[in-house]
Structure 1
Amino acid sequence: MDAPETENCTETITVMAELILPPWTPSGRQPVHLSAAGQKNGLALNINGSEKIKIAEIEVTGREVPAQGVTNAQIGYPNGQAAFILDNQVTTPLFWRYMILSDPERLYMTERYSDIKIHQFLLYGRLIDAAGSTNWSERFAELDRNIRTLLGVNPQALIVVLWLLNPTQQWLQENPDEMLITAFGKKEGVSFASEKYRRECLAFTQAVVEYLQQQPYWERIIGFHPWICGMPDCVTGGVADNLWQTDRSKITVGDFNPQAINMFRAFLRKRYGNDITKLREAWRKPDISFDTVMPDIKELTAPAADGGVFRDPAAGKMPFDYMDFIPTMLSSLLVEMCRLTKEMTGYTRINFVHYGFVDVQIQSYNLPGGMFNNNNFDLSELLRDPAIDGYIGAPSYSARLPGTPCLTYFPWTSFRLHGRMYLPDDDTRYYHCGTRNYGHNHSIRESRAITLRNLGADITRNFGSWFSDMSQGKGALAVSWTGEREVAELIGEMNRLYQKAQQVGYRSAAEIAVIFSADSPRYLDIFHGPTLANNLIQWMFYPEFFRLGAPFDVYLTSDLHHHDFPEQYKLYVMMNTFYLSETDRQRIDELKKNGATFLWFYAPGYIGDKGLDLRQIETMTGFKVECLPGKEKMCAVPTQHRLTEGLTEQYRLTASAFSHKNTRQMHADEFGPKFRIVDSAAETAACFADGKTALAVKDFGTWKSIYSIIPRLERSVLRNICRLAGVHLYTEAEDIIFDANQNFIVLHNGYQGSQEIDLAFPRPADVSDALSGEKLGSKINQLKIQIEECSTRILYLEY
């Protein structure tokens, strides 16, 4: 109806209007508010002293409520593909995650247009406070409002509850003895060894689970997510003062709180079986005891042998024991909280944690010594504990725009091997959201390309995901990231594809196994190590492997010992396996069979429990090697060889350097030791300026060995290595991001223009577009396919 004329009106006007409730109106009693705006300027009018007034309450008829919820929630891999198993019903391992109190509209839209029914709510901050447990009831009431609002809109919804237990500043001020203490006596954040802090974390965990168990919606709760961190997202912190520090004597690492020292002593008792003789021999300190042993900051930050990259365990194992200990302060508390929730629920709920960032922590630069405190290198220990089911962490923020791969910092195949699950924290900044940082999409086309790329990786690499809505505040920043229909429908389209993947079943198509060592980083010098690590990861693994045109699986060295470790691989890429234990060496030797090829970098096996030894490289790789004094900026000239086929005369194999001058001052591009291959029985593929071999191949009949002293190879050489190893290359297209398993291929193109791609399949297949269903070929070995710029295509293969 037309609004009545109100200007200069002195009479009472009655307005009759029909109220149509939106579909996301929660059931139950709901308030009705009146607000008004001026006809000419649109400004809010004052109504009885307020911009809006409550004029009525209405009863919204309840939606159909399910007879029961879920009594048993687990993760699993039925038919090989990752899944949540809820009372024996398989569902996709995908859920929504909200930052603040959630409005009904976004709760309705996300589920309505995606059919993803699992939602996570956060209890974020102020939980460990000087006021103790007095404000917990207020926070529980906040959580209760969220859950009841959700169930009022979507009665079928299921819930995961997250609680972040970082202490408030007031708590730290009132509990200074519970803080981390740096090597120089500065107090910085909480000490994860603090008995008081640990007690309060466990007390809150127990309280929130007990509260939820008492609610009528308890069977809608399927999981928990306890979260602690000294520095985002899951590390100890306490090393902020090291940023840009070039003076080794001013570097701090560790936690010198007396409680942390006592925890370290207990760690050593367990590691050395309470045998003081073993500890003294390992540390090269004849006078120490378990009751008095202390970390020594000078020894912890001492330079590496001969000023090179590697620290020598023969000089004493104190620094390495201490680095192994540091992450256990935080991780052991995570495990305790997860064990508590499992015990309280009879192991009928799923536990998630933020943990497992391995390859990004190996790179640690600009923060010398930061890798000591900021690492999750004990991940292999946690994977053995059944209290933790899912491991969550954001993909790389530097790879969010079209044309980049879905970069995860996790050894993703390790989780499946151990019966656990990795779930990326997918906090994509979609085209419409007000947050403009970290790869904000510029159009719905970009959002579609990135969403298909990410969820395609989830399917082909076999992990789950959550979708973050971090909108908050007012104005554009408050616009829901995932609650817009276009985004919810887009994710729903991929959810249906994930369901199809679960029905088809997961089979890895990888013939390449990439192996990372979580043990080797402890031996890297705090200044010289990052250049080596970044050559391997930031400048080779990330930009080259996802564009190879061949799928690969990613493991930790410790996974090689798992009884279910598959032996399907034709090429083992031993990424940073500088340290290898005796059992590691034996296990690797067992894999040297069936024509397998091993690719080694720089100093494979150089570090052993007894020290640095060139013979250990020779035994591991099968090449005769020598070590020269000094350091070098690595550069090698290719020879005529099948590994260098297709390279130009001007091409050089080089180690990269940091681009920022301040970073180069800390982490020089020259490093040592200088190794050379001096083996007349080897095939030389590249030589240093002194004429000695930098890249070589050796065929031992039952296995092949390829050794690159330069810790970075580009795609052209890596593809030649794949060919030599017999690895199938699906495509040799340039700048196409590639993921695949046995039944799905994901092709992602950035802004390099439209491309026609030649695909080759390992055997004849029926090929169709996985989303549209369009048939592309029957029983074909090859296919030409067009992929537009800024787009992702997903193919479905039936053999």
Structure 2
Amino acid sequence: MTSSKCEAEIRPYNGRPTVFIDGEPHPLPGFNPNPRGTDRIFERAADYFFQHKLGVYIIHAPIDPFWQGDDIYDTPQGYDPQYFGVDESAEYALAGDPDAYLMVRFTPSPPTSWKALHLNEYALTEAVTTPGSPSLASDLFWEVMARVSTTIVQYCESRPWADRLMGYTNFHVTEGTHMPVDLGWLYDHNPVMVTRWRTFLQAKYHTEEALQNAYGDEALTFDTMQVPRDPLRGAVPDVTNMLYWQPAQQNQGLRDYLELQRDLWHKRFQQICAAMEDGVDRRVVFLYDALKQTQQGWNLGAFFHEKISWSPAYAEVMAGSGHISVAPLLDTPGCDGLMTPLDYQARGIGGVCEAEGIADSVVLRGKYYFAEMDQRTVPLGEIDYGTPRNDREFAALTWRNFATAWTRGFNAYLFDIGGGFYDTDARHDIIGRQIEMIKDSLHWPHENMPGIAMIIDDTAVLETNGSGNFLNEAVMWEQKMGIARCGVPFRIYLFDDLLLDDFPDHRVYYFPNLFRVDEERLEVLKNKVFRDGHVVVWGPGSGISDGQQISTASATALTGFEFDLMPVNTQRRIVLTNFDHSITQDLDPAAIIGGPLAYGPILFPTDGLDLGMAWTKWQCNQVGLAVKTFGKGAAGDQDGKVIQGEGDYAAVFTTAVPLPADLWRGISRYAGAHVYCDDNEVVLADNSLVAMHSMKSGAKRLALPGNHKVTDLITGEYFGDVTDLITFELNAPETRVFLLEAPES
């Protein structure tokens, strides 16, 4: 290895994690060309991007040339002639853009030749099928995958172009999720998993008496314990009557199995990080496609597969893939951050841009998040959900996506997965300006504005029947509907992030799935959340479990509300009945919260101030939305002044989700948050930028938190040196992005 290779690492710069190469910060505008060489697909796409002088090209290292059967090759043994190999890709990119850097990505899924030899290492469903992925319990597969990962890195390090190679991304198998769970099969019955299961139980319970007590079955022994079968795949009447939130003895098998998958996934993630690190003798950046906690409730198979229908009760994908308690994994040696796609759902025109990976936690922890913007275009991608239908929509979408990255402190690159998505002069006029702004973004200070924090508990599924349906509504769709359109910036964090000393202050804290309460968690909340005039929004099952039992007592201990409980699954809607409170005074009387999804038990708040009545069952004439003050209450209770005191806050409890944008805006104002826009538009902001994405033309207003010098980032138009209000005409579909700077003295 030569001494001329670059050294790359992540350091903070202007408030955001930044790639430093040989001691200098780089904004890294990037492009990932399709590796197909037929019809000059790779070359034509790259030729268009060369004019922009990029920071990095993300290139593919195909797996099969390095791995066939049980053999791993130090040098690739022939490429599919339809595709560029990693050498061809590197050489072509650097020939056209010699000052750029390279990042190599690969997906170490086993070749068919390995599967043919080792079908016994694959996950086995209760229907005795093997849907495409090796078992998480297969040491053989994961050891081979680690060796292949090291081998590819070592090969790339040996190449003449390695002096421009600043990092690698390992996309894992099925991009970090577990394919059987993606397809609705939670439990793995492969004998290697059964052995792991029994070993896990023995380590956890120590004695068969403890095992029997936990499961409520005196006949159980360690040697005869079988991996559970999934009750969500049972008869419709049985699944219908299966309560979503469950006590430990009722779902102990699920809890234990998910904890085993957690342990296995943590081991595998750490194993692959170590393998990547073993391939280098210098500092480079290692990223991974995994840890997609913002996707809790993801019905991945039903969304992406044309012939799979949406199930009324499907296994939660992230927990079933072992993605539980993942915060410590971000500190694993050999992990510098994540590279995942942007979420594909609701990403089209008029929608929102959200990361699949837990981007805000990554940035908070000083790691790098590099978002794959697989932005499809017509005609190649015209049948795909969210594809822009013309160049105006393409501009609106991509500016929105980049503005999301800039205001959240991460980076994004364009990915030409189809081959030819961006190969027009008109699109490159748009892309060229965006790349200029990515380069400029290095100099923009980044600081979060105190707004709304969605706090996700990635252990939450342990308190449930294992289904993902509720989390799809409360986590995934809440991100895309009300919160994203209320005119207040929001961020998404893990509960464990609250333990960090530098966790940023927000005015509203939303807990969609904090189902379990204990003294340790309460102490964290008292120190970070229950104070300073904040407003806490509690989702429908908040505190319903103490880890063993389902009760109102634990819900009261967490939320401070008293409750009635009805042990039944039911649809939930809320009609607003009190418009005198500042939270609801600007809402339309026609606003109805909730929808047709049935889950239970139901918690009805019985104290606090009633804001709305629940529409659930005949026997339940109960409140569905209530607010309660503690200490001196919220900032809105003190004429908008932010209260500096422990125990001074207010809380809102809701029996139904998702919440409308107008309600989120009312809650935010009550908490003392700055509201940029009252018109239910998609608004993005940090201290240096504010952006609006809209499908409705007309006069628009963005109120700023203080006076700023304002410049239109896209056109360069100057809006004034001292202003706290931006007024402009928006010609939909359009995204407008404004740079905010300190006024000139």
Kept in 2, the 8 Å contact 1:597–1:725? The answer is yes
Kept in 2, the 8 Å contact 1:431–1:446? The answer is no
Give, as a single letter, the amino acid of the residue that structure 2 aligns with 1:744: L
Structure 2 distance, partners of 1:672, 1:377, is: 23
1:237 to 179, 183, 200: 179
Structure 2 distance, partners of 1:616, 1:638, is: 27
Question: Match for residue 135 of structure 2?
Answer: 191
Kept in 2, the 8 Å contact 1:324–1:378? The answer is no
2:510 equivalent to 1:573? yes
Question: Match for residue 21 of structure 2?
Answer: 86
State the shift of 1:218 in Å.
2.0
Structure 2 distance, partners of 1:160, 1:718, is: 41
Give, as a single letter, the amino acid of the residue that structure 2 aligns with 1:75: I
2:609 to 648, 666, 683: 683
Kept in 1, the 8 Å contact 2:150–2:276? The answer is yes
Q: 1:270 to 1:228 in 2, by over 3 A?
A: farther
State the shift of 1:299 in Å.
7.2
Question: Match for residue 223 of structure 1?
Answer: 167
2:71 equivalent to 1:143? no
2:104 to 154, 157, 161: 161
Structure 2 distance, partners of 1:525, 1:439, is: 32
Kept in 2, the 8 Å contact 1:269–1:290? The answer is yes
Q: 1:503 to 1:359 in 2, by over 3 A?
A: closer
- What does residue range 59-138 of structure 1 map to in structure 2 within 5 Å? 70-101=5-36, 103-125=42-64, 127-130=66-69, 132-133=71-72, 136-138=76-78
Bigger Rg, which one:
1
2:666 to 717, 720, 745: 720
Q: 1:692 to 1:89 in 2, by over 3 A?
A: same
1:671 to 599, 608, 615: 599
2:411 to 449, 464, 469: 464
Structure 2 distance, partners of 1:501, 1:419, is: 18
State the shift of 1:743 in Å.
0.9
Question: Match for residue 387 of structure 2?
Answer: 440
Q: 1:435 to 1:635 in 2, by over 3 A?
A: closer
Give, as a single letter, the amino acid of the residue that structure 1 aligns with 2:142: R
Kept in 2, the 8 Å contact 1:299–1:319? The answer is no
Structure 2 distance, partners of 1:99, 1:259, is: 38
Kept in 2, the 8 Å contact 1:510–1:741? The answer is no
1:321 to 256, 264, 289: 256
- What does residue range 21-40 of structure 1 map to in structure 2 within 5 Å? none
Give, as a single letter, the amino acid of the residue that structure 2 aligns with 1:425: E
Query: 1:669-689, CA deviations, whole angstroms, 9 ceiling, x for partnerless residues?
Result: 33322222212xx21111236
Structure 1 distance, partners of 2:93, 2:447, is: 37
Kept in 2, the 8 Å contact 1:164–1:226? The answer is yes
State the shift of 1:773 in Å.
3.0
Kept in 2, the 8 Å contact 1:429–1:436? The answer is no
Q: List gaps (5 residues or longer) in structure 2.
A: 300-309, 633-647
Question: Match for residue 628 of structure 2?
Answer: 698
Question: Match for residue 636 of structure 2?
Answer: none
Q: 1:460 to 1:320 in 2, by over 3 A?
A: same
- What does residue range 259-658 of structure 1 map to in structure 2 within 5 Å? 259-265=192-198, 282-283=214-215, 293-297=225-229, 307-315=242-250, 317-326=252-261, 328-330=263-265, 332-346=267-281, 348-364=283-299, 366=311, 368-369=314-315, 371=317, 373-374=320-321, 376-431=323-378, 433=380, 436-472=383-419, 480-526=420-466, 530=469, 532-566=470-504, 568-590=505-527, 591-640=529-578, 641-642=580-581, 643-649=583-589, 651=590, 653-657=592-596
Give, as a single letter, the amino acid of the residue that structure 2 aligns with 1:503: H
State the shift of 1:510 in Å.
3.2
Query: 1:530-586, CA deviations, whole angstroms, 9 ceiling, x for partnerless residues?
Result: 1x33332354331111111110111011211223222x2111111221223442222
State the shift of 1:124 in Å.
5.0
Structure 2 distance, partners of 1:347, 1:283, is: 51
Question: Match for residue 188 of structure 2?
Answer: 255
Give, as a single letter, the amino acid of the residue that structure 1 aligns with 2:95: G
State the shift of 1:740 in Å.
0.4
Aligned partner of residue 669 in structure 2, secondary structure: helix
Q: 1:277 to 1:741 in 2, by over 3 A?
A: farther
State the shift of 1:654 in Å.
3.4
Give, as a single letter, the amino acid of the residue that structure 1 aligns with 2:700: I
Q: 1:200 to 1:400 in 2, by over 3 A?
A: same
Structure 1 distance, partners of 2:127, 2:381, is: 42
Q: 1:648 to 1:147 in 2, by over 3 A?
A: closer
State the shift of 1:458 in Å.
0.8
Aligned partner of residue 85 in structure 2, secondary structure: helix
Aligned partner of residue 503 in structure 2, secondary structure: coil
Query: 1:13-32, CA deviations, whole angstroms, 9 ceiling, x for partnerless residues?
Result: xxxxxxxxxxxxxxxxxxxx
Q: 1:387 to 1:287 in 2, by over 3 A?
A: farther
Structure 1 distance, partners of 2:164, 2:447, is: 32
Structure 2 distance, partners of 1:305, 1:443, is: 44
The sequence identity of aligned pairs, in percent, is: 19
RMSD: 3.0
Structure 1 distance, partners of 2:447, 2:33, is: 33
State the shift of 1:795 in Å.
0.7
Aligned partner of residue 465 in structure 1, secondary structure: strand
TM-score, scaled relative to structure 1: 0.80
State the shift of 1:322 in Å.
1.0
Aligned partner of residue 503 in structure 1, secondary structure: coil
Query: 1:447-484, CA deviations, whole angstroms, 9 ceiling, x for partnerless residues?
Result: 21111111111100111123211235xxxxxxx33454
**Which shifted more, 596-605 or 378-387?**
378-387
Query: 1:223-253, CA deviations, whole angstroms, 9 ceiling, x for partnerless residues?
Result: 1222332xx43211225774xxxxxxxxx52
Aligned partner of residue 297 in structure 2, secondary structure: helix
1:180 to 120, 123, 132: 123
Give, as a single letter, the amino acid of the residue that structure 1 aligns with 2:229: I
Aligned partner of residue 540 in structure 1, secondary structure: helix
Query: 1:122-169, CA deviations, whole angstroms, 9 ceiling, x for partnerless residues?
Result: 315565432633683325993222222333333323221122222233
**Which shifted more, 111-120 or 789-798?**
111-120
Give, as a single letter, the amino acid of the residue that structure 1 aligns with 2:144: E
Count of aligned positions: 694
Q: 1:332 to 1:653 in 2, by over 3 A?
A: same
Structure 1 distance, partners of 2:358, 2:384, is: 27
Q: 1:212 to 1:581 in 2, by over 3 A?
A: same
Q: 1:558 to 1:193 in 2, by over 3 A?
A: same
Aligned partner of residue 585 in structure 1, secondary structure: helix
